[in-house]
Amino acid sequence: MATRAVMFTIGKFRCFPILKSGVAKFTTSSNLLSTATFDPGYTRDPSEVFFKENVQALLDRLTGRDYEKVFQNRKLGQRLEPPKYELLTQAEVDQVMAEMAAKLKRKLQMPPLLKEREPVTKILSEDPELQGFDNCKYVFINISQGINDRKREVVVRDPNGVLRDASWEERQRMCQIYFPVPGRQIYMPKMFEETHLQDCLEKGQYEFVLDRACAQFEPDDPDYIRVTRKTYNCVDENNKFSTLRSTRHFGPMVLHLVLCKRMDNLLFHFITSKDVKAAVDLVRLFHLIWSDPSYSELDEFQLIENYIQGPAVKKPALELAWQTFLEIEKQRLEALSLSQQNTASN
Amino acid sequence: MLGYVLKSLSIFTGKQVFILQRILVYSHTTTLRQSVKTQPITLFSTVKLTPPLISTKQFNPSVSTVRNTSFFNKLPADSLWKGVTSVSNAGKKRGRGRAVGKKMAKNLNRGQVVGVGKTNMLWPGLNSPIIQGRELIQQKKLPDDPDREAKLLKLRDEMGAFRLLRLSPLERGWSGPKLPGRSVGPPDPVGEDNFEGFDTIVLEFKIVCNMKGNLGRTRRTSAFVVTGNGNGLAGFATGKAQLGMTALRKAKNRAAQKLMYVERYNEHTVLHDFFAAFGKTRIFVQKKPEGYGLVCHRAIREICKAVGIKDIYAKVEGSTKNVQHVAKAFMVGLLRQKTFEQIAEETKLHVVEFRKERDYFPQIMAKPSEVKTTKAIDDMDLNLHLNAGKVVSKRKKGFQPNESDPSWKNHIAKTERFRNRDQVRVNLLVEHGEVRSFLADKYPECRQIKFSKKMEES
């Protein structure tokens, strides 16, 4: 199994015939095998709503900004270093905190919620006279700097003489060889296989699974969609929303749940944790996505009540939670007014 | 009587000539005859045999004399044992008796009871009551105890040599059976204070001498110990006494009266890097992250355990053998540490911590009551401020390759293919469950032989 590493240059292409007889492995990559499409629970293209400005703002608000959570201790797989100390003036502290705000924004950037990508079928030329020129495919890649990996020219000459654009899997593998993305592996890690994924989710390692999926896959990769949607559903079923709060995955998860119309658990979670603002935002998002214009005039409490009376699926549980919340709120207000009266009389 | 004995022996042993001395002791001929018949002759220590001369026709007996008096039967047992187990003063001066102290006198009377001997006899009045119930007990022979002799010998073997108490590896000190590094338990309770959770460790244990006008050189044992509860409280002290155990007790109880509280960072390391000195001993201490361990002088390590410090690096320069100076320097350094609040107040600046695992998120450890707006040169670095402008000089790295050196290039070329070997191993194990060649698909018979531990056939 000799590998050919002959390099030759034609025009602006630097062409590498690679892995001469490693083709078998190449074409039967696990990505191709597991193309049985995962049903996300909706037919709409989520990118239509995801990139809308008001949706982004709502998702951003729902995510929250807990600095302690975002900058929590993480296991980096490296030897620990002793902490560093600095003596800072107030201005310097403010400046560092401003830098941290920018860093937080970068860390909380949401991976987009997209629909599955279309397979590549573009054929550049058919040259039957080249048929049987070799028993393997030749892949050509432009390795110039400064090109987006999705726009990089990667073409394949098949043994039957067809010159075509590389498939998504071929492209990703070639790009990973020449421009490795940190944390990404050429073959899909076993963790994302169905059985192992189930184990990971049962252990409650949602954030880890989602983070690694972000590093491994493109957001429109069918495997990414399968893994992430499954994780979102698992979080929803187990009511573990707080583990994903203040992470970059909370927004896409909320959007996914709203698109599936299974946001009742989340709303229940918000109400029981007395986070009315988040609950209101969630209902607003629901109306925004399912294009109901009537919501904008209503006040906050009315909005939630209308949702519970209207489109909610788990009505009894939500209603009960909402009533208890209202009662507690009422008591709190009474106590507050009493104490205010006392202070006034004193 | 003698004639009878000789006669009986000559009947028994033919024409050999015997010189029997000890046999005379026996007065009871029947016992003698019995013993001679049942025991091999060699048991008689003073009997000397000359082999029978078979080749010569004429019988020519050889006679050798035996001295009956020696220091063995003249001196008492104490003096005999002294000769074996000790050495004279004159001999000591000449360097004799190096093994003195290893051998000890055996008490041969141990395990022996009056009335009990080789022959298991019942002697009424000696080893049994005379009357049992209404019957008078008769003197009679009981069956022999075959293990008696072996038991007696075993008991004697156990005595002679001096044996050390066997210590578990965790209880051992720094070196061999020596005391330094060993734990001697918590200090003795004072009033209601029981010193619960305290442990004492010996740091130094030595003999010290003093010259006196009337007594000459007087020796005492000095013990230097540290005691602590592993939770910030620790103290150290010396104790001197004639006996080592007394010195230890004194030192331990004195240390318990001199407890000091040491501030720690998250209960695992020091507050900050520091330098401390006592005499010629200088110590540079560094703060380390969790899991680093105690990488320092062994005396410092024991003090850290007593205080409850778990992660530290300390470099001792100057005298490392003077344990008392090392301990004092380290303790002085620990007590001179500044808390973050103190530093903030001194510098009038925020003390901010940055950790890599938190992605360098600033954690404000202490705020001053009023913050100044401009910084002095010493405020640029915390260590600079703590050391009053001094900087710890760092040693040069030992080997720095010259990258244009052909030999270095050669080395890189040779070792390049091994650079990610451990990672490749892990990846192969993840992917295939074994470390395999890239040719394994084509030639499946070529694979690594897996060694499995053979089970013992039983």
Asked if the model's pLDDT at residue B33 lies above 50, the reply is no
Query: pLDDT at position B35, please?
Result: 41
Whether B384 and A114 have beta carbons less than 8 Å apart is answered as no
Element (H, E) at A8: strand A8-10
Residue whose entry in the numeric block shows the structure tokens 């007065």:
B27
Which residue of chain B has the CA closest to A95? B362
Tell me the longest C-alpha to C-alpha distance in chain B.
127
Cα separations in angstroms, B408 against A250, A324, B397, B416:
51, 75, 17, 12
Which residue of chain A has the CA closest to B346? A87
Query: pLDDT at position B168, please?
Result: 86
Query: pLDDT at position A297, please?
Result: 65
Query: pLDDT at position B210, please?
Result: 93
Q: Do A1 and B357 count as a contact with CB atoms less than 8 A apart?
A: no
Contact status of A186 with chain B (Cβ, < 8 Å): no
The residues, ordered by sequence, that sit 6+ positions from A144 with a Cβ below 8 Å of its Cβ are: A12, A14
Residue whose entry in the numeric block shows the structure tokens 């001993």:
B281
Task: Write out chain A residues lying below 8 Å of B364, CB-based.
Answer: 93
Which DSSP state fits A11? T
**How far away is chain B from the Cα of A25, in angstroms, using its nearest Cα?**
10
Task: Write out chain B residues lying below 8 Å of A100, CB-based.
Answer: 361-362
**How far away is chain A from the Cα of B383, in angstroms, using its nearest Cα?**
9
Which residue of chain B has the CA closest to A81? B289
- Cα torsion for B95, B96, B98, B100, to the nearest 10°? -130
For residue B375, give the nearest of A81, A83, A87 by CB distance.
A87
> If we measure between CA atoms, which residue out of B40, B65, B62 comes closest to residue B52?
B62
Task: Write out chain B residues lying below 8 Å of A82, CB-based.
Answer: 286-289
Query: pLDDT at position B46, please?
Result: 52
Q: Do B350 and A88 count as a contact with CB atoms less than 8 A apart?
A: yes
**How far away is chain A from the Cα of B305, in angstroms, using its nearest Cα?**
20
**How far away is chain A from the Cα of B404, in angstroms, using its nearest Cα?**
27
Whether B141 and B117 have beta carbons less than 8 Å apart is answered as no
Cα separations in angstroms, B199 against A136, A192, B188:
74, 52, 11
**Cα–Cα distance for residue pair B310/B267, rounded to 1 Å:** 8
Cα separations in angstroms, B373 against A13, A87, B351, B379:
58, 12, 14, 12
For all residues of chain B together, what is the average pLDDT? 85
Picking from B356, B372, B424, B432 by the largest number of A CB atoms within 10 A of its own CB, the best residue to mutate is: B356
**How far away is chain B from the Cα of A88, in angstroms, using its nearest Cα?**
5
Whether A259 and A234 have beta carbons less than 8 Å apart is answered as no
Q: Model confidence at B17, in pLDDT bands (50, 70, 90)?
A: very low
pLDDT in tens, B323-345: 999 999 999 999 999 999 999 99
Greater confidence, B293 or B63?
Answer: B293
Write down the pTM of the prediction: 0.72
Picking from A20, A87, A192 by the largest number of B CB atoms within 10 A of its own CB, the best residue to mutate is: A87
**How far away is chain B from the Cα of A190, in angstroms, using its nearest Cα?**
8
**How far away is chain B from the Cα of A174, in angstroms, using its nearest Cα?**
19
Asked if the model's pLDDT at residue B118 lies above 90, the reply is no
What's the CA angle centered on B264, arms B274 and B257, to 5 degrees? 100
Asked if the model's pLDDT at residue B318 lies above 90, the reply is yes
**Cα–Cα distance for residue pair A98/A11, rounded to 1 Å:** 48
pLDDT in tens, chain A (346 residues): 333 333 333 333 334 433 333 333 333 334 444 445 677 778 888 998 999 999 999 999 999 999 999 999 998 888 999 999 999 999 999 999 999 999 999 999 999 999 999 999 999 999 999 998 888 999 999 999 999 999 999 999 999 999 999 999 999 999 999 999 998 988 899 899 999 999 999 999 999 999 999 999 999 999 999 999 999 999 999 999 999 999 999 999 999 999 999 999 999 999 999 999 999 999 999 988 887 666 666 788 888 888 898 888 888 999 999 999 999 989 999 999 888 888 877 6
Task: Write out chain B residues lying below 8 Å of A103, CB-based.
Answer: 359
Which residue of chain A has the CA closest to B287? A82
> If we measure between CA atoms, which residue out of A99, A78, A103, A104 comes closest to residue A88?
A99
Cα separations in angstroms, A91 against A45, A153, B361, B373:
47, 49, 16, 8
For residue A87, give the nearest of B287, B347, B359 by CB distance.
B347
Task: Write out chain B residues lying below 8 Å of A189, CB-based.
Answer: 430
Q: Do A96 and B290 count as a contact with CB atoms less than 8 A apart?
A: no
User: B interface toward A at CB cutoff 8 Å?
Assistant: 272, 286-292, 343, 347, 349-359, 361-362, 364-365, 371-375, 379-380, 382, 385, 430-431, 438-439, 441-442
CATH second-level architecture of B199-261? 2-Layer Sandwich (3.30)
Q: What are phi and psi of A338, to 5 degrees?
A: -60, -50
Q: Do B352 and A91 count as a contact with CB atoms less than 8 A apart?
A: no
pLDDT in tens, B292-307: 999 999 999 999 999 9
Query: pLDDT at position B374, please?
Result: 92
Picking from A85, A100, A107, A184 by the largest number of B CB atoms within 10 A of its own CB, the best residue to mutate is: A85
**Cα–Cα distance for residue pair B247/A235, rounded to 1 Å:** 66
By three-state DSSP, how is residue B251 classified?
helix
For the domain spanning B274-386, the CATH number is 3.30.230.10
pLDDT in tens, B192-208: 999 999 999 999 999 99
What's the CA angle centered on B117, arms B111 and B122, to 5 degrees? 115
**Cα–Cα distance for residue pair B293/A172, rounded to 1 Å:** 44
Which residue of chain B has the CA closest to A101? B361
Across the A/B interface, how many CB contacts are shorter than 8 Å? 93
What's the CA angle centered on B407, arms B404 and B411, to 5 degrees? 105
**Cα–Cα distance for residue pair A253/A229, rounded to 1 Å:** 8
The residues, ordered by sequence, that sit 6+ positions from B401 with a Cβ below 8 Å of its Cβ are: B408, B411
Whether A116 and A222 have beta carbons less than 8 Å apart is answered as yes
Cα separations in angstroms, A110 against A239, A300, A333:
21, 26, 37
Element (H, E) at A138: strand A138-141
Greater confidence, A327 or B163?
Answer: A327
Q: Do B374 and A83 count as a contact with CB atoms less than 8 A apart?
A: no
Asked if the model's pLDDT at residue B179 lies above 80, the reply is yes
Whether A51 and A59 have beta carbons less than 8 Å apart is answered as no
For residue B291, give the nearest of A78, A80, A88 by CB distance.
A80
Which residue of chain A has the CA closest to B343? A87
Whether A313 and A259 have beta carbons less than 8 Å apart is answered as no
**Cα–Cα distance for residue pair B18/B13, rounded to 1 Å:** 10
Q: Do B373 and A93 count as a contact with CB atoms less than 8 A apart?
A: no
Which residue of chain B has the CA closest to A21? B442
Q: Do B289 and A190 count as a contact with CB atoms less than 8 A apart?
A: no
Q: Model confidence at B435, in pLDDT bands (50, 70, 90)?
A: confident
Q: Do B358 and A100 count as a contact with CB atoms less than 8 A apart?
A: no
Which residue of chain B has the CA closest to A187? B431
Q: Do A85 and B292 count as a contact with CB atoms less than 8 A apart?
A: no
Phi-psi category of B116—alpha, beta or left, where left has phi over 0 and alpha has psi -120 to 50?
A: beta
Whether B159 and B106 have beta carbons less than 8 Å apart is answered as yes
Distance of CA B69 to the CA centre of its chain: 47
**How far away is chain B from the Cα of A155, in angstroms, using its nearest Cα?**
26
Instruction: Tell me which residues of chain A, numbers 22 to 81, contact chain B at a CB-CB cutoff of 8 Å.
Output: 25, 67, 71-76, 78, 80-81
For residue A87, give the nearest of B382, B439, B441 by CB distance.
B382
**Cα–Cα distance for residue pair A278/B183, rounded to 1 Å:** 60
**How far away is chain B from the Cα of A46, in angstroms, using its nearest Cα?**
32
Q: Do B355 and A83 count as a contact with CB atoms less than 8 A apart?
A: yes
Query: pLDDT at position A257, please?
Result: 94
Mean pLDDT (whole number) for B216-225? 95
Q: Model confidence at B114, in pLDDT bands (50, 70, 90)?
A: confident
**Cα–Cα distance for residue pair B229/B256, rounded to 1 Å:** 10
Task: Write out chain A residues lying below 8 Å of B347, CB-based.
Answer: 87
Mean pLDDT (whole number) for B42-66? 61
